[in-house]
Structure 1
């Protein structure tokens, strides 16, 4: 066994952040007008499907079927970010003694742990740092750094930008772009897929011991 499937065998439990084939849903997108401004919506939208001024991609919540290793479950990624949950197990990534959150960042940070750092990657609890490093090809490829974070805050969304063509159909105009939470001219037209946070007060942490 090779590639992503082999990497997945390192996990002892179902990966929390990763979606499953049966969680894919249709997205009945449309535009509605309010105060003279078009806003992206679903034809059967619910109020809770907006957050931070953006419409969020729908996902199922049944973790069954084929694991889609190269994708991220939108709602679980956002939940991990907001509640400081581990990307592997979905439980808290906060150290109960220090209150700091363990994080794997896919960069060497240029040796600078003093500057804030934006990321779409959720935290990882101490017990699952090794599994995250073994199973996530993106982290392995980007010279990851293990650290703890003292504070962080949402600053944007990774999203697809939509518009309408000449016939009035909803069409994607930009794919997976970073949109700041202060970009009010863009937020009404995006479908958010991941929350971007800015971590600060970084301190290096040891890598897990090899068995």
Structure 2
């Protein structure tokens, strides 16, 4: 079972939102509700393996841990310098510019040992995919629910904001996106390709 897959027992917690110190917060906020950059994250139960896997849903906390710690999104082990990113052909081709243009993604890395298994089991990759080996990976954006303060209260809207956007203080985040730069294209579909020559 993929490490980042949410289970039916892992539901988002009911919370009371407040405005405190000019930003969104929880009435009963704890230190664990924010990341090291001070971003508020959506609370979610943590009970992997309990219930039924929800393949279409990503567990917010495990997705963030996988991105920050370069953990394999399939097996959960540290990838370190061998981290690879698997993207659907459509996702890769929609990047802003030709290869090797930077690619932003919310998909955590995979370890080399999980590439073939991911290709076989993930419907997201069956219609074509690429495997990238980046030399630079950096936080790029956050997805979640943005709460616009108004005189009558907070108005929510699902959105994605740049990591350094000052409006993230009004975001309840659910996913972290990273920017992949200076990468080699390792595989195109099932075919090995020549990597980019050194500059």
Is structure 2 residue 43 aligned with structure 1 residue 58?
yes
Q: Which runs of 5+ in 1 are unaligned?
A: 1-13
Partner residue of 1:44? 28
Tell me the alpha carbon deviations over residues 182-201 of structure 1, each in whole angstroms, 9 at most, x when there is no partner: 211x2111110010110112
Tell me the alpha carbon deviations over residues 129-170 of structure 1, each in whole angstroms, 9 at most, x when there is no partner: 1222333333335x32112121200011011112457654x5
C-alpha distance in structure 1 between counterparts of 2:125 and 2:174, whole Å: 19
Number of equivalent positions: 184
- Structure 1 pair 46/161, CA: closer, same or farther in 2 (3 Å)? same
| Structure-to-structure mapping, 1:100-179, within 5 angstroms | 100-106=82-88, 107-109=91-93, 112-140=98-126, 143-163=128-148, 168=153, 170-172=154-156, 174-175=157-158, 177-179=159-161
Choose from 10, 29, 32 the match for 1:23: 10
SS of 1:182's equivalent in the other structure is coil
Partner residue of 1:182? 164
Q: Which runs of 5+ in 2 are unaligned?
A: 192-199
For structure 1, which segment, 159-168 or 40-49, has the greater mean C-alpha deviation from structure 2 after superposition? 159-168
C-alpha distance in structure 1 between counterparts of 2:92 and 2:141, whole Å: 22
SS of 1:25's equivalent in the other structure is coil
Counting strand residues as a fraction of each chain, which structure ranks higher? 2
TM-score, with length taken from structure 2: 0.81
SS of 2:86's equivalent in the other structure is strand
The 8 Å contact of residues 18 and 71 in structure 1, kept in 2 or not, is answered as: yes
Partner residue of 1:204? 185
For structure 1, which segment, 128-137 or 84-93, has the greater mean C-alpha deviation from structure 2 after superposition? 128-137
The 8 Å contact of residues 130 and 208 in structure 1, kept in 2 or not, is answered as: no
- Structure 1 pair 147/181, CA: closer, same or farther in 2 (3 Å)? closer
TM-score, with length taken from structure 1: 0.77
